[in-house]
Each structure stands twice: as structure tokens, then as C-alpha cells.
Amino acid sequence: MNYFEAFSEIAAELEEIEDRGQVAAYIPELSHVDPDKFGIHLTTVKNQQYFLGDSNTKFSIQSISKVLALTLARGLEENYLWDRVGVEPSGSPFNSLVQLEYEQGIPRNPLINAGALVVCDVLIGSLKNPQQEFIEFVRILAGDPDIGYCPRVAKSERLTGHKNAAMINLIKSYGNINHDIDLVLDFYCDLCSVEMSCKQLAQAFLFLATNGTNPLTGKEVVSVSRSKRINAIMQLCGFYDEAGEFAFKVGLPGKSGVGGGIIAIHPGKYSIAVWSPRLNAKGNSFKGMKFLELFTTRIGSSIF
Ligand code: GLN
């Protein structure tokens, strides 16, 4: 299938629609992005590449990194991750605190901020040098050494992320954070600050379309069963309180970030990354969601 034709047609269609929403500004450093950027990159399991627009420009991947952190944690045998984090959709915003008290410090899932903070705590407990090992892991998945943290974004979030600080204190009060709070928050903010292009993201996530194997190296990243489970979690929890909407309209497992990026996977076929910085009220890319809806509808691609 020549996906490029569908890309161009849909991009032209989207030009007619007003790109609504706001660039994330609650992390001050994110507000400097050009709101009109728009990129798409699709990589098939047979290594065909289709792209359009700003697909090679790096942006802040933000919460998309939560899937990669989970993947790395799941690869480390000795942790008891699922005793500490659930796998249920939250139905609430990514930075919500309310469920945590009802559910005694066990976050609903690893793709909301609370769950990712626990995953960071697990990684700190299992890795010698978490920052270095995490970024190396991402570089290998993407097959590209040119990926790193953005210290400006990490610092900006660290200084203004009062909700995340409240959240981790609450989780720790229930005994579900083992390490020093500052250490975990530093690591969390670094993870969110990773910068990647649509091209790098599509490649890095392709293992979820190939049953857990890195198609570049032929090595297993996670087992077949874990790869299915990560896709299941993305399907149910990847878009916070808009996960149902994404399943309904797009029909693929995926994950968004407040930098305006979205990654989506069609197991057995392809991974696709889209980037457009203006966010809807739920914190997901307005145009990115729209594009993926039109794309999967046009080409008849859905896991359902
Ligand atoms: N770094 C952001 C935060 O913790 C990530 C949120 C997101 O991308 N949804 O608020």
C-alpha cells in the first residue's frame, strides 16, 4: 500500500480545518515551539518508510517516553511492577491526584504521571546509571545515537511541576516510592524531556509491531506476551480521559505527549508517529488525533 498518497490527501484536507487548541505552556520551556509544525512518519515492519512535513525535526516527546520506561522496566525480571501499578484506564487527566488517595498510592496505570513516577522508582532501583542506561536503550531501539535529553525542558518542568511533586509525596506516604523523592523527580523530568523526531519515534516503537523484536538488530526487546500487554495498556490508557475516543476513532494502540506528538502501532504492519503542537482540552494533539482518525479510516486500518 502506498501510504504517501493518503498522507498528502489528508494533509490537504486538514489545511481546510482550523487547527484548534493551545501549545502546552504549563511547562514554560515547551511554549517556545512553533505551533504550526506538522510531521508524519510511518515505518512498516518490512522497513518501508513514508513521511511528510516536519518528520525529521525533533520535539519534546514528553509522556510518550512513559511507554519506553515501562518497556525497560518490564525487561528487568526482578521487579514486582504489577503489585505497585495497575493496568486500568484512569478516565481522568494525566496529572490527576484524586484516585491516588482512594486507591492508597497504587496508580491506575503506568502511562499517567503517577504510574510513571513509580516506574521511575523501579528503574532507579534496578539500574546502575538510570539516565545513561535509559537513553542508550532508546538510541538502540531507534537505531540512532543522535537522541538525548533536553536539560532546559527538564529544568523547566522540575521548577514548575508542583503537581508531580505533590503526587510523588502522596504515593510515598503510602510506601509505594522507595527512593529519594528528588532523585525520582529528576529522573522523571529527564525522561519527559527526551527529544526525538517522528522518524526516530516510528523506528523506536516498531518492536511493538513485530511481537517485541527490534527489527534493526533482530534481538528481543520484550517477549511476545509482554509486547501484546504493552499494546493493550496503550490502547486502554495511552490518551488519559480520551483513550476511549482514540480507540473509537483511530482504532490503534497509541500514546500521546504534551509536546504534541502521538505514536500509534498497527501490530504486524507498521508504527506511525505524528507531531502537531496544538493540544486539545485533554492534552492530546488536536491535529494529530484528527490526522490519525482520517488516515486509519481512509486505508481501513484498525485492530478491530
Ligand atoms: N512532563 C509532563 C508532565 O508530567 C508529561 C505530561 C504529558 O505528556 N501528558 O506533566
pLDDT by residue for the chain (304 residues), tens digit each?
789 999 999 999 998 888 789 999 999 999 999 999 999 999 999 999 999 999 999 999 999 999 999 999 977 765 689 999 999 998 888 888 999 999 999 999 999 999 999 999 999 999 999 999 999 999 999 999 999 999 999 999 999 999 999 999 999 999 999 999 999 999 999 999 999 999 999 999 999 999 999 999 999 999 999 999 999 999 999 998 899 999 999 999 999 999 999 999 999 999 999 999 999 999 999 999 999 999 999 999 999 9
Ligand 1: nearest atom to the Cα of 116? 4
Query: Residue 200: inside a domain, yes or no?
Result: yes
C-alpha angle 132-134-136 in degrees, rounded to nearest 5: 70
Output the pLDDT for position 194.
Answer: 98
Ligand 1: nearest atom to the Cα of 95? 10
Query: What total of structural domains would you count in the chain?
Result: 1
Classify 33 in phi/psi space as left (phi over 0), alpha (psi -120 to 50) or beta. Answer: beta
We report the CATH number of the domain holding residue 146 as 3.40.710.10
94 lines ligand 1 (CB under 6 A): yes
C-alpha distances in Å from residue 225, one per residue of 30, 67, 79, 268, 289: 36, 16, 17, 14, 28
Task: Give the C-alpha separation, 158 to 192, whole Å.
Answer: 11
Q: Which residue in the block uniquely carries the three cell numbers 486502554?
A: 236
Output the pLDDT for position 17.
Answer: 85
Query: Residue 121 sits in which domain range?
Result: 3-298
Q: What is the DSSP letter of 303?
A: -
**DSSP SS3 for 39:** strand
- If one residue of 152, 164, 192 were mutated to test the ligand 1 pocket, choosing by the most ligand atoms within 8 A of its CB, it would be 192
Residue bearing the CA closest to ligand 1, atom 6 = 63
288 lines ligand 1 (CB under 6 A): no
Output the pLDDT for position 77.
Answer: 60
Q: How many helices (H) and strands (E) does the chain have?
A: 13, 7
Query: Residue 304: inside a domain, yes or no?
Result: no
258 lines ligand 1 (CB under 6 A): yes
Task: Give the C-alpha separation, 216 to 262, whole Å.
Answer: 22
96 lines ligand 1 (CB under 6 A): no
pTM equals: 0.96
